[in-house]
Amino acid sequence: MPDPFKKLHDKRNQILFIELAGLLHDIGKLSKVFLEYRQQWQDISNGWDIDPHDHEYLDKHEVYSNLIPSEFENYKIPANIDSGEENFSIKKAIDFHTKPGEDLILKLLKAADGLDSAIDRNNPLWSAEQKNKIFKSNVFGYEGNKIVTVESQEKARHVLYAFLGNMLPGYLDHFDSKVRIKIFSGIKKAFDQGLSDTTRPQNDTTLWEHNYAVASILKVIVVRYILCNEKLDDFEFEKVEFGIFGIGWNGMRFLSYGQKIGDILGRQHIIEDIKRCLKDLIEYEYPIGNEIYSDDDGIYFIVPAKLDGYELKELRNKIDDEVYKIAAKASSGELQPHIVNISETNTLTSLAKAIQCMVEKTIYPFDSSVNGFDEYFKGALETFEDGKTVCPICRLRPVEKEDKKKKVCKTCMDRRAQNDKNDADKYKPKHNETLFIDEIVDKHRKAALIVARFGLDDWLKGTMVRSLFVTEASGLEKEINNLGNVKQFEAEEKKIKEYLSNRNYGEFNYGRIEADIDALFKDKDFERAKNIAFLYDRRNTFSPDGEALKKIRTKWGKFLKAAKKEDSTIDIYNLLNAKTPTPSTLLDIWNTTLNFLDDLPASILNALLPEKRRLKLTVNNLDPNKYGRTLDGKVIFKDKSVKKIDILIINSNEIEVINETKSDSPTSKDWSNADIILTDPLPHLKVSKDQKGSSFVPYRTITATPNLFMSIVPADRAVEITNLIYQKYIEHFGKVMGRLPFSIGNIFFDRKMPMFVVLDAGKRMVDNFDKLSKQRIKFTALKDKESIPSGIKLDLKCTLGKLDKTLTWQLPSKLGNCEDDFHHSYFIVNNNKESLPDNRKSFFKTIAGNVVHCSEIMKGDELQVLPNYYDFEFLDSNIRRYDINLSENNRRKSNVANFSSKPFLLDELGQKIMCLWFKLLQGKQLKGITDTKLRNLQSLWLTKYQEWDVNISNNSSKNFNGWINLVLLSIRKEFNEINDKHYILLQETIKNGLFFDTLELYLGILKERIETK
Ligand SMILES: [Zn+2]
């Protein structure tokens, strides 16, 4: 056995044990005593020094001491890993993680903890402590009414102890992979409810995110130490380095090969299986790292640094080898993974780099440049005999039987069948979703694929995180006013307060913050530096002397140097006042978007779409093991009428009929005495009883990952669902509106359309959204912002591809306690003429751009926005999908005429498209509207548009003016009672083409009519 393998093999149990201890080190924060301490410490004379969670929590503060699993104390390994007395335990990690002494593992734990807590945990303002209700937030600032109660913490910890008491004895005996996964999910369930810090905005990190990040960093530095025998005495968090190891592929391309929903899901399961196996390989089998991100396009791990280096070359080659084998086996040779390794970094924001690298690699499905790649993948494919038909799904293997109606290969057939097997629990959808397109389509036999896409790049890179604030003008002002209220430091604080009140350093704004930090950093004014250090360094830094100031300066210099590696444009002011993209912040970014998308089926689709019960029939005996689970055939009713049906075999004497429900109507067919003849040579079935069968909801989710959601829904509900998803986005992410792009597409199709065409169309739309998510657009404020109960209201205008648009944002901007949120609610503003730093108190220069708090947005401000888009297309043929491409100016053609009105703003969906249809047209607010009148006008306007050679993108031309005059005149003539608001809406949407696209959507695609009643 070569050396690194032997070492890893010999030390595996220790590595996994250290990982577990790291994961549990903050269990004391999941408690009433911790929360109450945080609420009260400022009023206690030695409050700062008595945080219970790391002061021998288990011995001194644990109220459930009889529940603590004995393994916490009794299971031990040597604290220096290699030899010596066995004295490192979970208990030690919990009790002493901030005071490691000479204990090597504890020192490493402290370093890992320090890296995840770097800068931003140092300086939340004390006035931002939550002394009453404690709200939980996330990196995007969504608090809602997520209140953390002491009861919830006590209960979660109680449950966790009981759970661990059950699991630990077995786990610590064998360190089994499956048990490890169970233990992780048990701890996650508990820690997701807890907070790593209660002070705003540090209440954005859950206890799980922080502890998982720390445990993972700890794991990789321990492994690096074991493998390379590095001396780690005096190890500090500044020295922590790690690598990022990514395995990826083009998920959308792989998913899209399929005719039926079942084929797509079968392929989705393969991706899941591969990820599961890779996780097992890297986290357990070797075990060198932990997963830090995954979506349909791959999975990424934090691993020891220099995995590419000479010392670990052999290990790396072996891992690569295993990775290819896993993918080849699980995908029968169809999915060739690519590998990206960022060798040395100290920030998880390098993940963005790794993902970008992967995207470039996966443009080509097969990369023959990698040695030994071919054998796994080619070998896994059966040899192909001449003259055989190629399977239309995988396009690789011969079909199973040439004469069969359903011509696909055996592998693809098995994958399809896998989905509806009763026993395939892991493949079961969570929400009763149907697998059959016939049960999804609307009354016009149409369905829609909804694709929703986040643009996470700038977040994973950390850029946008640095546009959110820990300290800023309004908070600093509050902090100064609050000085003297923290008991333990009352005297120091009062001294500073007095000093500051005698100096005129000016109002808090960007200039003041700059000058404060300059004083400290550039040694301009020693007195000032001493007295304001506490605002920008650790909060308990009071009046440091020259030596201490020098230390602060050196520390900041190091931070800045490290941050500049990520983004060379960052300055010290941005660095010290904004949030830092720590590992747990990065985890929170994609955990939050994943949870949001993953929750859409439950929160929107199941709530909106009706649950139905399939028709269940009792029949004479049939052997369910002999046949596939779905079969087609026909039913012959008593009255000799015949109907084609598809059935599902439930058991030996029960079947269900797909797309049929039990009806109580007297005119409906009598199934109870019918005969069923199945297409294949199978026994005829005699029905003896009909009743209600299993329930289903008419939609099917294809995928929900951190950046992508895809679901197939009835066509006539797609627009409504899309709008509800966007409303939910605004509620959850409205504070970062314009900085977190989110777009939704609707691909409409008839039930006969093969799924690969639908998915390919979806993929094209996603590609468009990705491109658009990098392009900032100027939105101009039409008025000063208005305050509304939930936040702010902004009226805006913008121009997309020469077409003018107006829109309104109503955005949340409050904290859970109803105060204004000065940590998150900002816009990137780029006014040319005005000096923003002088005129807006909240102005701040960040690497994401110059920002201003939403409460200070004024008429004429030019916001730099990453817009959210909406797009739709109807696949009236296989080749229509090729139209879903952006032209050079990032626009695409409407199907109505020569203008490029697509994609729209997602804001326009509710405010314009749905408003036009549901209010003006269908809602009859346009007095005198009828179906015929509308269609006549539409045809007149479009005919003249063609005849006169009009182009709405050229709105100063004579042709355009003549045409728009005709249109507006006919509106005045036909609808003389029209009010100004509606007239303006019609005028705008006719001028920018949206009106015609709306009619195409409702009249053309969805086959709606203006009701005459
Ligand atoms: Zn196939």
User: What would the DSSP string read from start to end of 665-712?
Assistant: -TTS---TT-EEEESSS---EEEEEEEEEEEEBS-EEEEE-SSEEEEE
User: What is the per-residue pLDDT across 550-607, written as a single tens digit (0 to 9) for each?
Assistant: 888 888 888 899 899 889 999 999 999 999 998 999 999 999 999 999 999 999 999 9
* Cβ–Cβ < 8 Å for 773, 457: yes
- Region 684-695: mean pLDDT is 88
Residue 59 one-letter amino acid: D
Ligand 1 centre to CA of 613 (Å) is 33
Amino acid in position 409: C
631 C-alpha to ligand 1 centroid (Å): 19
Ligand 1 center from residue 415 Cα (angstroms): 9
Q: What is the mean pLDDT of residues 251-274?
A: 92
| pLDDT given for residue 313 in this prediction | 87
Give the Å distance between the CA of 314 and the centre of ligand 1.
Answer: 36
pLDDT of residue 234: 64
374 alpha carbon – ligand 1 mean position (Å): 20
Rounded to the nearest angstrom, the distance between the alpha carbon of 377 and the centre of ligand 1 is 15
Residue 414 Cα to ligand 1 middle (Å): 9
Distance CA 990, CA 246 (A): 48
| Tokens encoding 971 | 């509106």
**Cα of 760 to ligand 1 centre, how many Å?**
18
Listing DSSP states for 295-332 in one string gives: ETTEEEEEEETTTTSGGGHHHHHHHHHHHHHHHHHHTT
Average of per-residue pLDDT across 803-814: 97
Rounded to the nearest angstrom, the distance between the alpha carbon of 205 and the centre of ligand 1 is 45
User: Residue 640, exposed/middle/buried by CB under 10 A (0-12, 13-18, 19+)?
Assistant: exposed
CB contact set of 204 (below 8 Å; sequence gap of 6+): 137, 138, 139, 141, 579, 585, 588
CA–centroid distance, 877 to ligand 1, in Å, is 24
- Output phi, psi for 42, to 5 deg: -70, -20
- Which residues neighbour 943 within 8 Å (Cβ) at sequence distance 6 or greater? none
The pLDDT of residue 649: 85
Q: How many A from CA of 332 to the centre of ligand 1?
A: 10
pLDDT at 119 over 60: no
pLDDT at 223 over 80: yes
Ligand 1 centroid – CA 871 distance (Å): 32
Q: What is the enclosing helix (H) or strand (E) of 342?
A: strand 338-345
Ligand 1 centre to CA of 395 (Å) is 6
326 C-alpha to center of ligand 1: Å?
Answer: 19
Q: How confident is the model at residue 369 (pLDDT cuts 50, 70, 90)?
A: low
Q: How far is the CA of 753 from the centre of ligand 1 (A)?
A: 18
Kindly give the distance from the C-alpha atom of residue 61 to the centroid of ligand 1, in angstroms, as a whole number. Answer: 61
Q: How far apart are CA 575 and CA 827, in angstroms?
A: 18
Name the percent of the chain in helix, strand, coil, to the closest 5.
45, 20, 35
User: What is the C-alpha to C-alpha distance for residues 439 and 831, in angstroms, rounded to an integer?
Assistant: 53
Residue 838 confidence (pLDDT)? 83
Distance of CA 978 from the midpoint of ligand 1 (Å): 59
The CA 645 to ligand 1 mean position distance, Å, reads: 25
Whole-number pLDDT of residue 1 = 44
What is the 39 CA–ligand 1 centroid distance (Å)?
61
For residue 454, the model assigns a pLDDT of 98
Cα 409 to averaged position of ligand 1 atoms, centre (Å): 4
CA of 761 to the centre of ligand 1 (A): 21
pLDDT at 524: 66
**413 Cα: distance to centroid of ligand 1 (angstroms):** 7
* Phi, psi values for residue 793, rounded to 5°: -125, 130
Give distance in angstroms: CA of 396 to centre of ligand 1: 6
450 CA distance to ligand 1 middle (Å): 26
What type of residue is 335? L
pLDDT at 120 over 60: no
Lowest mean pLDDT of 299-303, 389-393, 495-499, name the range: 389-393
* Whether residue 6 has pLDDT greater than 90: no
- The Cα–Cα gap between 276 and 290 comes to 12
Share of the chain above pLDDT 70, in %: 94
- Model confidence band, residue 370 (pLDDT cutoffs 50, 70, 90): low
**pLDDT band at residue 372 under the 50/70/90 scheme:** low
> Which of the two residues, 63 and 625, has the higher pLDDT score?
63
Q: How far is the CA of 188 from the centre of ligand 1 (A)?
A: 39
Over residues 422-456, the pLDDT tens digits come to: 445 566 777 889 989 999 999 999 999 999 999 99
Give the distance (Å) from ligand 1 centre to CA of residue 408. 6
CA of 398 from ligand 1 middle (Å) equals 7
How many A from CA of 404 to the centre of ligand 1?
14
What is the whole-number distance in angstroms between the Cα of residue 406 and the centre of ligand 1? 12
pLDDT band (50, 70, 90) for residue 872: very high
d(Cα 203, Cα 196) in Å, to the nearest integer? 7
pLDDT category at 363 given cuts 50, 70, 90 is: confident
Checking if the pLDDT of 367 tops 70, the result is no
The total of other beta-carbon atoms located within 10 Å of residue 651's CB is 9
In sequence order, which ranges of 299-455 are alpha helices (DSSP H)?
313-330, 350-361, 373-380, 410-418, 437-440
Tell me how far the alpha carbon of residue 766 lies from the centroid of ligand 1, in angstroms.
26
The rounded Å distance from CA 400 to ligand 1 centre is: 9
pLDDT at 1005: 97
- Look up the pTM and report it: 0.95
> Number of C-alpha atoms within 13 angstroms, CB side, residue 665?
5
Q: What's the 271 CA to ligand 1 centre distance in angstroms?
A: 16
- Taking only the tens place, the pLDDT of each residue in 606-664 is 999 999 999 999 988 777 676 667 888 889 888 888 999 988 888 888 889 999 988 77
| Ligand 1 center to 335 CA (angstroms) | 13
The CB density around residue 263, as the number of other CB atoms within 10 Å, is 26
Q: Quick one: pLDDT band at residue 924, thresholds 50, 70, 90?
A: confident
Residue 489: predicted pLDDT:
94
Distance 573 CA to ligand 1 centre (A): 58
3-state secondary structure of 164: helix
Q: Are 626 and 737 in contact (CB under 8 A)?
A: no
pLDDT tens digits along 453-501: 999 999 999 999 999 999 999 999 999 999 999 999 999 999 999 999 9
Closest CA to 73 of 57, 50, 51: 57
Å from CA of 412 to ligand 1 middle: 4
Selected residue with higher pLDDT from 165 and 55:
165
**In angstroms, what is the span from residue 771 Cα to ligand 1's centroid?**
32
> Could you tell me the distance, in angstroms and rounded to a whole number, from the CA of residue 677 to the centre of ligand 1?
28
Instruction: Decide which of 761 and 835 is more confident.
Output: 761
Q: How far, in Å, from the CA of 3 to the mean position of ligand 1?
A: 42
Q: Are 244 and 354 in contact (CB under 8 A)?
A: yes
What Å distances lie between residue 221 and 240, 303, 646, 666, 963, CA to CA? 7, 9, 57, 73, 70
| Ligand 1 midpoint to CA 389 (Å) | 11
Residue 22 Cα to ligand 1 middle (Å): 46
- Give the Å distance between the CA of 393 and the centre of ligand 1: 5
Residue-wise pLDDT tens digits, 757-804: 999 999 999 999 999 999 999 999 999 999 999 899 999 999 999 999
Owner of token pair 């807590």? 117
The mean pLDDT of 77-106, rounded to a whole number, is 87
Distance (Å) from CA 872 to ligand 1 centroid = 30
Does position 707 have pLDDT exceeding 60, yes or no? yes
Question: What is the model's pLDDT at position 423?
Answer: 46
Q: How much distance in Å is there from the Cα of 700 to the middle of ligand 1?
A: 22
Closest CA to 580 of 438, 700, 466, 491: 466
Pick the residue with more confidence: 957 or 102? 957
pLDDT at residue 1011, as a whole number: 80
Rounded to the nearest angstrom, the distance between the alpha carbon of 334 and the centre of ligand 1 is 10
- DSSP reduced 3-state for 30: coil
How does DSSP assign 99-159, residue by residue? Answer: --TT-HHHHHHHHHHHHHHTGGGT---GGGS--SSEE---TT---TT-EEPHHHHHHHHHH
Q: How far is the CA of 267 from the centre of ligand 1 (A)?
A: 11
Q: What is the mean pLDDT of the chain?
A: 90
pLDDT tens per residue across span 394-425: 888 888 776 666 688 888 888 888 776 544 55
**940 Cα–ligand 1 center, Å:** 50
**298 CA to middle of ligand 1, Å?**
23
Give the distance (Å) from ligand 1 centre to CA of residue 392: 6
